[in-house]
Amino acid sequence: MLEVNKKKKFTSVQITAVSFLLLILIGGFLLTLPICNEKPITYIDALFTAVSSVCVTGLSTIVAAEQFTFWGELIMLILIQIGGLGFMTFVTLIFVFFKKRITLKERIMLGDSFGSNALKGLVHLTKRVFSYTVILEVIGAILIAIRTIPMYGIKSGIWRAIFLSISSFCNAGFDLFGGTSLINFATDKLICTVVMVLTVLGGLGFLVWNEVRDKIEYKMKNRTSFRKMISTYSVHTKLVFTMTFILIILGTIGLFFAEYNNEETIANMNFGDKVYVSLFQSVNARTTGITSVPTAELSPASKIMTIILMFIGGAPGSTAGGIKCVTFGLLAMTVFSVILNEKHVNIFKREIPEELIKKAIALLFLALTLVVLTTIVLTVTEKNIDTLDLAFESVSAFSTCGLSAGVTSSLSLIGKIMIMLLMYSGRVTTITMTMAIFKSRMKEHDVLRYTQEEIMIG
């Protein structure tokens, strides 16, 4: 753990931000070692890979399967796993293993990584999250290995299965299939279904998992009805499931119609496969970035829809990125409340605090600002690349999604640095980054308020 200076105390968000940065720098150094590479690699490409791995993005300037040896791939996988579950999760597990005392500040940091304000039960939650993660990733790897072992042999097939399973659950987007992602497995229902399930589970958030488990356990003990059990879920969990379902369905429908006659993607597939591939793209566009069609060949309409899905992302406290589906849902309900002239924002018969609405608006503004500014800079530095593709790359980086319109490897040095910074800020989250830079100066007893005055809007 980082030592906290008595004269200048660091906040939990600052320590989290610095911890991720140190992990990236160490990972970048290790990936430059000869033992990790089949051929020479520049430090900027190794660092880019480390950033993308720790930030569980999936964007890459190299082809991992061709560039790295087993040791390089192993380092990538470790970075992905730590980045996916969160640095503090692993620190806590190490402390528990060595029976070290976990301080209040460490509990606060752990709560931040899970998206929880409560401090009680966090260590137990960490153990539970880790055990469930291992179980799900092992099951996923076993199922994927059914396909990969016959194709690549026992050792290579098992390794590819393990890598894809962990990458899918952590919403990282990396694979070891030679730069084609799952294009060669587009209609393979086993592999693609396993990847989709792992992606959705990883993108729901650890607090949602925990609540679902507790509610099911309570139902079994007290023999309550399924409907009553659902009614007792928190607004957060209900909103996560609702928004996840809506975004997957709308994304599937939109991509299906946009790509229906695209010869480069799904036009030559039968109706059932077209629906299935569209579903796969919709699920993975928000979080993982693993693709079963050439992303660069998507129609402009599909690219715009994918940008929207990537920008929204998964759930808070999950392995996914973006502004988060809960934030989007809250903002949508805020808009509806204004249209309907309602005084308060209500979701599932519960009033949402004004502070959360302000935070959601701030997150949206900061995210849009980062993406737009990065895209503008890229249009100057990457003059030979289409603006839509640059916007696609920027949103993918910020949302830690990993889908690319095929331009990542051709980025200039400045372009790569901009994308790395965007991946980092997207993983740590723009709100956390802002708080890390500008420590809150709010005084507890500051009751000064100015006279209200209305301004023109719209």
Could you read off the pLDDT of 349-380 as tens digits, one per residue?
Answer: 889 998 889 888 988 998 999 999 999 999 99
Strand partners, 37: 68
What span, in angstroms and rounded, lies between the C-alpha atoms of 55 and 129?
19
Mean pLDDT, all residues of the chain: 84
CB 444 within 8 A of CB 416: no
Q: What is the pLDDT of residues 112-121, one digit of tens each?
A: 555 555 556 6
Which of 24-33, 126-135, 150-159 has the least mean pLDDT?
A: 126-135
Which of 128-132, 247-251, 278-282 has the least mean pLDDT?
A: 128-132
Q: What is the pLDDT of residues 145-197, one digit of tens each?
A: 999 999 999 999 999 999 999 999 988 889 999 878 899 998 999 999 999 99
In a domain, 358, yes or no: no
* Tokens read off for 111: 């709560």
Mean pLDDT for the stretch of residues 249-260:
95
pLDDT for the residue 75: 95
State residue 444 phi and psi, 5-degree precision. Answer: -60, -35
pLDDT for the residue 1: 44
Residues 6 or more apart whose Cβ sits within 8 Å of residue 448: none
In a domain, 413, yes or no: no
CB 186 within 8 A of CB 213: no
Please give the distance of CA 54 from its chain centroid, rounded to a whole number.
Answer: 11
Domain span at residue 95?
Answer: 12-312
Query: Using 50, 70 and 90 to split pLDDT, how confident is the model at 287?
Result: confident
Strand partners, 350: 347
Residue 237, pLDDT > 70, answer yes
What span, in angstroms and rounded, lies between the C-alpha atoms of 433 and 421?
11
Residues of the chain above pLDDT 90, percent: 46
pLDDT for the residue 445: 46
Q: What is the pTM of this model?
A: 0.87
In a domain, 348, yes or no: no
Mean pLDDT for the stretch of residues 62-69:
92
Residue 327, pLDDT > 60, answer yes
In a domain, 243, yes or no: yes
In a domain, 374, yes or no: no
pLDDT for the residue 105: 59
In eight-state DSSP terms, residue 20 is H
Strand partners, 298: none
- What's the farthest any 2 CA atoms get from each other in the chain? 74
Residue 204, pLDDT > 80, answer yes
In a domain, 106, yes or no: yes
Residue 213, pLDDT > 90, answer no
pLDDT for the residue 375: 94
Of 92 and 303, which is predicted with more confidence? 303
In a domain, 246, yes or no: yes
CB 433 within 8 A of CB 319: no
Q: What is the pLDDT of residues 330-344, one digit of tens each?
A: 999 999 999 988 888
Residues 6 or more apart whose Cβ sits within 8 Å of residue 450: none
What span, in angstroms and rounded, lies between the C-alpha atoms of 393 and 57?
11
In a domain, 415, yes or no: no
Number of domains in the chain: 1
* Tokens read off for 325: 């589906």
